[in-house]
Amino acid sequence: MNRTMTDAELIQKFDEAIEKDQIYVNYQAQINHTTGRMLGAEALMRWKDPEFGSQSPADFIPVLEKNGLIYKADLHVFEHVCKFQKRCMDEGISLMPVSVNMSRFDIYNTNYIDSIENIRKQYGIPVKYLRIEVTESSAIGGMELMSSVLSRLHSLGYLVEMDDFGSGYSSLNILKGLMVDIIKLDMIFIRGDIGGRGGTILSSIVQMAKWLDTPVIAEGVETVELADYLKSIGCNYIQGFLYSVPSDEDTFIEYIKTVKHEPLTASLSLVNALDSGRFWNPESMETLIFNNFSGPASMFVYDTSDRSIEILRVNKKYIAEVGCGRTEKQIFETNPWDYLDEENRKIYEDTILDAIESADEETCETWMKICTDICGEEKICVRSSIRIIGHGGDKYLLYAMVRNITKEQQILNQYEENERRFKNAFEQANVYAWEVDVATKEMRPCYRCMRDLNLPPLVVDYPETAIKAGIFPPEVADKYRDMMKQLEEGVGTIEDIIPLTVGRVPFHVRYTTEFDETGKPLKLYGSATLVVE
């Protein structure tokens, strides 16, 4: 009768099952999808009861964990794997690393590592052929405990795999805190959502793993489409039904005889040392990776050897801010230098070099020329604040926060142009001009006022500041205040003769008021011309 055993039955039959090898091991290959070669295998615990048939690990493992039996079961599996490796050695079959699952409950058992070491030595298996898989949930007992277990395993020469990465809430945090050698991504957590959020998360994790120089194995891959997609985002290593279902020892030995082997390496060696704490801060990290960054931003690699730039990531806000109708794909596919003319390229590149040198944020403003089918040609001015977040060899990983400041720049240009014209006009007409904002009492003098009366570009609390500064003789101060009062109350024009400048030369002072739609005075335009006798 095939059926799922009850907890009581499992507990009761456990010892016998271990003794009689009713608890045994299946092996599943890990394959490089690009080369078709094998990288290693995972050992999976199986329980076949003579009476009730095969039991699912999803059912019996939690029961073993709850009842303190998992430790014994895991050592049993470990011993099976060592026997398997010994058999390969004896039969002259080239050895492959086999990963063994370590339950999170084994973390608490201080004997675990000593025990596996004893077994390993007993069978004489080189440590490089055994790997340990841990899960994020193992860190529940505390990161420190987990860290010490990992460093002990490392010191003995074991490589450690982080299983089911991406399933937990604080994955990124854990990854930063723990030195794992290999990341395993379970497709179950992504399944069916490759085009959407799942795909974004997936490619972000793969990207991040590249920076950490950590190989990634995708687990649970059943289709060529998924394998191809994974390959397209830089993850070649696959464990799943697509290549091999878990099989018993004999079947698996026949299988490994037929496939070529290759060692596991990191997908791309880019950034070895990410030292910026800010970058790995879980808050900024999570936001960064999952596209919720507070402002428009991109991440790119600058290569000092060929001075190239490769954009790695842009967030949605980046596309909205400076995309100009480009899709994410178009942004990635175009060489970023193509948008900049020689002058702007130099500005941008100098800023990158400054950022690399200073290890601080450096800002520049550059004009980009962007051509798209939708918008045609468009010139935009972008302010970029660039910061280095990592580096490896000639490659620097940089982070740029961007803002589209085209409008501001255009207004500024216009303003400068006006300024220039006024300056010329006033110079010729021998007239001083200024404007006063009624609401704020701010006065903006023309360039000649600034020069001859020694005024700043913005005078606050006008006219009191000017009176205090002695621009008007004290005896006309009240008269001037009165003039201003009338204007504020809505008089359209006023003029008078007032002695001005250091020499108290009489000037013809005129004011014209600008009103808003409701008739309230907004601005007072003042001018002064020399009184010619």
**Does 108 engage in binding with ligand C2E (CB under 6 A)?**
no
Amino acid identity, position 429:
A
Nearest residue (CB) to ligand C2E, 37 versus 191 = 191
Q: Distance between CA 71 and CA 45 in Å, rounded?
A: 13
Q: Please choose which of ligand C2E, Ca ion, none residue 220 contacts, taking the beta carbon within 5 to 8 angstroms, the exact cut-off set by kind.
A: ligand C2E
**Does 222 engage in binding with ligand C2E (CB under 6 A)?**
yes
Cα separations in angstroms, 11 against 180, 218, 290, 363, 526: 33, 33, 44, 66, 97
Nearest residue (CB) to ligand C2E, 223 versus 413 = 223
Cis before 457 (ω within 30) = no
Binding mask 219-238 for Ca ion (x = CB under 5 A): x-------------------
Cα 458-463-464 angle, rounded to 5 deg: 105
Binding mask 134-163 for ligand C2E (x = CB under 6 A): -----------------------------x
Taking CB under 6 A as the criterion, the residue among 101, 315, 344, 351 binding ligand C2E is 101
Q: Please choose which of Ca ion, ligand C2E, none residue 103 contacts, taking the beta carbon within 5 to 8 angstroms, the exact cut-off set by kind.
A: ligand C2E
Nearest residue (CB) to Ca ion, 245 versus 359 = 245
Contacts of 279 (CB under 8 A, 6+ apart): 285, 288, 389, 390, 399
- Show contacts of 306-313: CB within 8 Å, 24+ apart: 307/349, 308/335, 308/337, 309/335, 309/336, 309/337, 311/336, 312/207, 312/397, 313/204, 313/207
**Does 15 engage in binding with ligand C2E (CB under 6 A)?**
no
Q: Please choose which of Ca ion, ligand C2E, none residue 241 contacts, taking the beta carbon within 5 to 8 angstroms, the exact cut-off set by kind.
A: ligand C2E
Q: Distance between CA 32 and CA 261 in Å, rounded?
A: 9
CB count within 10 Å of CB 74 equals 24
Residue 310 per-residue DSSP state? E
Binding mask 45-64 for ligand C2E (x = CB under 6 A): x-----------xx--x---
Q: Are strands 521-530 and 297-303 parallel, antiparallel or unpaired?
A: unpaired
Nearest-approach distance from CB 21 to ligand C2E, in angstroms = 14
Q: Distance between CA 27 and CA 256 in Å, rounded?
A: 11
Nearest residue (CB) to ligand C2E, 61 versus 443 = 61
Taking CB under 5 A as the criterion, the residue among 79, 136, 181, 186 binding Ca ion is 186
Taking CB under 6 A as the criterion, the residue among 13, 31, 40, 74 binding ligand C2E is 74
Using CB under 6 A as the binding rule, the residues of this chain from 16 to 45 that contact ligand C2E are 28, 44-45
Taking CB under 5 A as the criterion, the residue among 164, 181, 362, 435 binding Ca ion is 164
Nearest residue (CB) to Ca ion, 136 versus 164 = 164
Among the listed ranges 219-227, 319-327, 391-399, 418-426, the one in contact with ligand C2E (CB under 6 A) is 219-227
**345 Rama class: left (phi>0) / alpha (psi -120 to 50) / beta:** alpha
Total of chain residues touching ligand C2E, rule CB under 6 A: 22
Q: Distance between CA 301 and CA 386 in Å, rounded?
A: 12
Tell the burial category of 503 from Cβ atoms under 10 Å away from its Cβ (0-12, 13-18, 19+).
Answer: exposed
User: Which H or E run includes 135?
Assistant: strand 130-135
Amino acid identity, position 171:
S
Among the listed ranges 9-17, 70-78, 444-452, 479-487, the one in contact with ligand C2E (CB under 6 A) is 70-78
Closest CA relative to residue 186, chosen from 208, 205, 158, 211 = 205
**Does 240 engage in binding with ligand C2E (CB under 6 A)?**
yes
Using CB under 5 A as the binding rule, the residues of this chain from 127 to 146 that contact Ca ion are 133
Using CB under 6 A as the binding rule, the residues of this chain from 158 to 187 that contact ligand C2E are 163-164, 186
Among the listed ranges 69-77, 318-326, 332-340, 487-495, the one in contact with ligand C2E (CB under 6 A) is 69-77
Spacing of C-alpha 319 from chain mean position: 15
> What are the backbone angles phi and psi of residue 466, rounded to the nearest 5°?
-70, -35
Using CB under 6 A as the binding rule, the residues of this chain from 346 to 375 that contact ligand C2E are none
**Does 74 engage in binding with Ca ion (CB under 5 A)?**
no
Residues in the chain, overall count: 533
Taking CB under 5 A as the criterion, the residue among 79, 106, 163, 321 binding Ca ion is 163
Nearest residue (CB) to ligand C2E, 239 versus 298 = 239
Among the listed ranges 32-40, 125-133, 309-317, 344-352, the one in contact with Ca ion (CB under 5 A) is 125-133
Q: Distance between CA 30 and CA 161 in Å, rounded?
A: 13
**Does 101 engage in binding with Ca ion (CB under 5 A)?**
yes
Nearest-approach distance from CB 139 to ligand C2E, in angstroms = 15
Taking CB under 6 A as the criterion, the residue among 40, 215, 220, 445 binding ligand C2E is 220
User: Collapsing DSSP states into helix, strand and coil, what is residue 300?
Assistant: strand
**Does 79 engage in binding with ligand C2E (CB under 6 A)?**
no
> What are the backbone angles phi and psi of residue 476, rounded to the nearest 5°?
-100, 0
Contacts of 15 (CB under 8 A, 6+ apart): none
State the residues that interact with ligand C2E by CB under 6 A: 28, 44-45, 57-58, 61, 70, 74, 77, 101, 103, 163-164, 186, 219-222, 239-241, 246
State the residues that interact with Ca ion by CB under 5 A: 101, 133, 163-164, 186, 219
